[in-house]
Amino acid sequence: MPQLTIIIFSIFPQNLAGMKKMALHWKILIGMVLGVLFGLLMVNFSWGKEFVQDWIKPFGTIFINALKLIAVPLILGSLITGVSDLKDISKLSKMGGKTVVTYLITTIIAVSIGLLLVNVLVPGKSITESTRTELVSNYAQSTEKYKEEAKNQKEQGPLKALVDLVPDNIIGASGENKNMLQVIFFAIFFGIGLILLPEERAKPVKDFFSSFNEVILKMIDLIMLAAPYGVFALLAALIVESPSKDLFVALLWYSFTVVLGLALMISIYIGLVFAFTGKKPGAFLQGISPAQLLAFSTSSSAATLPVTMERVSEHLGVEEEVSSFVLPIGATINMDGTSLYQAVAAVFIAQAFGMELSLGAQLGIVATATLASIGSAAVPGAGMVMLVIVLAQAGIPEAGLALIFAVDRPLDMCRTVVNVTGDATVSMIVAKSEGKLGEPHVRDWDDSYESKKKSPGIL
């Protein structure tokens, strides 16, 4: 078996890595397609699933771990540098205000699109009584853990989120219970401290974090070299582990509604970027596509954050003072794809149970889905946990979670793409309004590799 793994990884990726001139998003895309094909091939063998789980999936896990590993140092390095470069606290609060308001606006647009589509297409009508019973009995067990998690969240007091913002221990915040908002809080606080120090006292620390940041960006370049392999392993594992496909068909109309909404949202981003910054759709998509593909493969905006930050600042021209501030906050609080999905899912479940939702109830969904998406963690399946709260608020049976469970993972992959694209869009809009949207300055691995060959010692 180990030999087979070596053969698999050496056949295609070696050639992919060798294709230095091919754009990164093509390499990742090829890795994804090969991963899906390989998974589909392996399910035909009795030993296929075990083989993929034992010998292929771990490489996907290593890849995600490496991305997550880099997230905390990246936020610390780039945010401390970014905030201290602002030189003025009032600029920071102005940018913070703009960021949060723009995030809220895009989220409300997303929820409204979701509600509109689900009311027009009425996917819940396609679920017959017998399919509903089958889905509920098949997946009731699997959804228990989501309900449990949601219950824990609900039991917390109203100011818990605020209290959670301030860590009592920065090592703890960035360690075991990795809390991005706490790390962001610390970095901004530290950056403000630096602004307030006299220039000559602050300079050594600023210089340190600026170089620290450069090192982290270089590490991301290195991790990205492994991206085609990583997504290959992730998607192959996903295919062999995916549940029975029979019930997918029953949920086709629902899935179509969600995906259509997400696609509309992407086109709205493209329009917004063009209207506010003049960046052409092709250039925007080309710049952000590797992050989108990773979002799709990992289902986690947190794991994708390092790549989103790199793409936005180096390929879309957003200056680091803005990207280092807007993107980590966005990865944690701005989830337009998730909120759109929650709106569609909630109404779909109500329709499938034959419930009529009043306009008031639907407006309630706009409010709770917006808040729930802010509260959702940027990890796979988080949207489903917060959906429980949206359902409870609207008086829709929680048992309905079992109805949509079978297709949650593929939809999670799609909504994460939207979450990441939304963050990138808002960072461009904020950068433009602050006069900090410049020309892209690509600092690609390939370039560094080439320059290293010319001048040894410089990577």
Residues within the interface to ligand ASP (CB under 6 A) = 299-301, 335, 338, 376, 378-383, 412, 415-416, 419
CA distances from 38 to 43, 44, 175 (A): 9, 10, 35
Q: Of the two residues 64 and 428, which places its CB atom closer to ligand ASP in the complex?
A: 64
Q: Of the two residues 294 and 379, which places its CB atom closer to ligand ASP in the complex?
A: 379
Q: Of the two residues 58 and 381, which places its CB atom closer to ligand ASP in the complex?
A: 381
Cβ 291 to ligand ASP shortest distance, Å = 12
Q: Of the two residues 84 and 300, which places its CB atom closer to ligand ASP in the complex?
A: 300
Cβ 106 to ligand ASP shortest distance, Å = 14
Cβ 142 to ligand ASP shortest distance, Å = 15
Cβ 298 to ligand ASP shortest distance, Å = 8
CA distances from 217 to 59, 106, 314, 407, 441 (A): 22, 29, 10, 35, 13
Closest CA to 127 of 399, 344, 349, 362: 349
Cβ 195 to ligand ASP shortest distance, Å = 31
Q: How far does CA 422 lie from the centroid of its chain? A: 10
Phi, psi (rounded to 5 degrees) for 187: -65, -45
Question: CA angle, 295 as apex, 292 and 300 as ends, to 5°?
Answer: 155
Cβ 338 to ligand ASP shortest distance, Å = 3
Beta bridge mates, 318: 437
Q: Of the two residues 260 and 355, which places its CB atom closer to ligand ASP in the complex?
A: 260
Q: Of the two residues 143 and 213, which places its CB atom closer to ligand ASP in the complex?
A: 143
Question: CA angle, 335 as apex, 329 and 339 as ends, to 5°?
Answer: 150
d(CA 72, CA 56): 27
Cβ 412 to ligand ASP shortest distance, Å = 5
Torsion-angle region of 399 (φ positive above 0: left; ψ -120 to 50: alpha; else: beta): alpha
Helix or strand or coil: residue 96?
helix
**Cβ contact 276:14 at 8 Å:** no
Q: Of the two residues 83 and 293, which places its CB atom closer to ligand ASP in the complex?
A: 293
**Cβ contact 281:270 at 8 Å:** yes
Q: Of the two residues 288 and 378, which places its CB atom closer to ligand ASP in the complex?
A: 378
Residue nearest to ligand ASP (CB): 383
Q: Of the two residues 194 and 305, which places its CB atom closer to ligand ASP in the complex?
A: 305
**Cβ contact 388:376 at 8 Å:** no
Quick one: which H or E segment has residue 444?
none
Cβ 299 to ligand ASP shortest distance, Å = 5
Whose tokens are 């959702």? That residue is 376
Q: For residue 430, what are its two tokens?
A: 């904020």
Closest CA to 416 of 367, 387, 373, 386: 373
Cβ 347 to ligand ASP shortest distance, Å = 17
